[in-house]
Amino acid sequence: MKIVYRDHAVSRMMVRRITPEEVAAVLKNPDGKIKQSANKWIYYRKLAKREENAVAVVTVIVENTSFEVITVMINFEVK
């Protein structure tokens, strides 16, 4: 799986202390995903080593096995 990060995603990862390994874990095995538009998805997952509710990764799917990460969030709740 190829993961490309936009500058905004990298800055949010640093502020929220989310590692590339955590992003990959969310994308590989999400608890769920929400479609936002034709090619934009939110993948989310509760990670055992993190205290927050869930980590979410907003992506644009470039190909079936390639993701472009737009941003990352913590304390994500499905509504």
2-73: CATH topology: YaeB-like fold (3.30.2310)
Q: Where are the domains of the chain?
A: 2-73
In the block, tokens 């936009």 appear at 6
Helical (H) or strand (E) element with 44: strand 40-45
Under the banding of pLDDT at 50, 70 and 90, the label for residue 42 is very high
- What pLDDT is stored for residue 56 in this prediction? 84
- What pLDDT is stored for residue 18 in this prediction? 94
- What pLDDT is stored for residue 73 in this prediction? 92
- What pLDDT is stored for residue 53 in this prediction? 81
Cβ contact 76:44 at 8 Å:
yes
